[in-house]
Amino acid sequence: MIIREFLYVDPHKVSSLLAQLNDGIDMEHRRTSRSERRTDTGFKGVLGHYQGSGEEQYVTKTLGDLVFPSLEEALESEGMIRDLSDELSDEQYWTPDRLQTLNPLGSIVRITARGCLFDARYIASVFSGFATTTKGVLGLTGTQVSSQVASSKPKQQPAKKASQQQPQRSSAQLEDQIDDFEMGDVNGDLLRSFIRVSRGIFTPGLHLNLMPTPDNSYVVGARLQEGRQYLDGDIEVLFSRYGIGEQEWTLVGSIGVYGAQNQSTQLEPFVDGATVSRGKFLRYINNSIGNMNATGFMDLPQSPGFSVVPFAVYRTIPRGKGQSVELPHPVAP
């Protein structure tokens, strides 16, 4: 029996699939029983006795963690899920002709491999704490903080009127959390650059990156959507529990998209007089994005890697090794 510690479950997808496979889901159990005893005064003062026995219980049992294992079992019985853990550890399996042919888009897969969690917001928080602490230590030791780094930071523009203000994405302000400082080769500009790269490659949010091969050359990515089951904790709390290092995770979901290979960006005329060919325009833009993504600069799978639409992420709880216990010898009478 496998005991799972869930990091993430998408209850909507899991319930939808399980309902389609099992023609519905039972979410509660009820059982009623009753016991009763009564004494009545009968005709002309004769007492009447009545006694009934039974039980009355009301039990509501939410299936909760049983829903996903039930889905996993149902998918296996229908032959609709494929465990790729062993195959993906072999670099020869990652050739596009083999990987994509055997596992078309939408295929439901289960992958157990080494992986790590990543969130640009957490990186910004850690670097911000480091910069603040370093600046404080420099101040306590009487070391003057370099003003050269501070001068490189753009001056703030006057605030616009409320009617002119544009909505700002919080992710665009992550690097602004870093105080200016300089200590050896490390300074505020360096840390801000790391954060810019982090939020460019991984859009702020929690990402799981599995690296099945020994050299970490190939990555299976999954974006874990906030507000889903088991993922309601604060981001700092989550990383304090699971850390940033590699550990073994199991990811179950459907293949979302494969990393795009280099495409031809030869410009096809998509404008004819006052008419725009939407198909030709989309093809050119998509091919251009695919070529940009081949550099690894974008939050898209990098070929030959792929993304998985996650149903659940968990790690198995290991069983403790049994220890032999020496029983006492019986005492002779």
Whether 76 and 140 share a structural domain: no
Q: Which of 97-101, 102-106, 161-165 has the lowest mean pLDDT?
A: 161-165
Whether 125 and 109 share a structural domain: no
Q: How far apart are the first and last CA of the chain?
A: 44
| Strand stretches in the chain, DSSP E | 4-9, 36-41, 47-52, 81-83, 108-118, 182-183, 186-187, 206-210, 220-224, 247-258, 271-272, 275-276, 306-316
Which pLDDT value is given to residue 310?
Answer: 96
Q: Is residue 327 part of a domain?
A: no
Better-scored residue on pLDDT, 248 or 39: 248
Contact assessment for residue 111 and residue 251, using Cβ atoms and an 8 Å cutoff: yes
Q: Is residue 74 part of a domain?
A: yes
Whether 88 and 148 share a structural domain: no
Residue 107's nearest CA partner among 6, 257, 216 is 257
Tens of pLDDT, residue by residue over 182-201, are 888 899 999 999 999 999 99
What lies within 8 Å, CB to CB, of 317 at 6+ separation is: 3, 4, 5
pTM: 0.74
**Domain count of the chain?**
2
Whether 103 and 1 share a structural domain: yes
- What DSSP state is assigned to residue 265? -
Which pLDDT value is given to residue 40?
Answer: 59
Whether 224 and 210 share a structural domain: yes
Report the C-alpha gap between 230 and 222 in whole angstroms: 16
Whether 107 and 132 share a structural domain: no
Which pLDDT value is given to residue 282?
Answer: 87
Domain containing 240: what range? 1-21+64-115+206-259+301-317
Whether 4 and 68 share a structural domain: yes
Which pLDDT value is given to residue 147?
Answer: 47
Report the C-alpha gap between 250 and 232 in whole angstroms: 20
pLDDT interval class at 280 (50, 70, 90): confident
Whether 72 and 96 share a structural domain: yes
Contact assessment for residue 126 and residue 236, using Cβ atoms and an 8 Å cutoff: no
Whether 312 and 255 share a structural domain: yes
Which pLDDT value is given to residue 276?
Answer: 84
| CATH number reported for the structural domain that contains residue 224 in this entry | 2.40.50
Tens of pLDDT, residue by residue over 208-262, are 999 999 988 899 999 998 878 888 678 889 999 999 999 999 999 999 999 987 6
The neighbouring-strand residues paired with 83 are 110
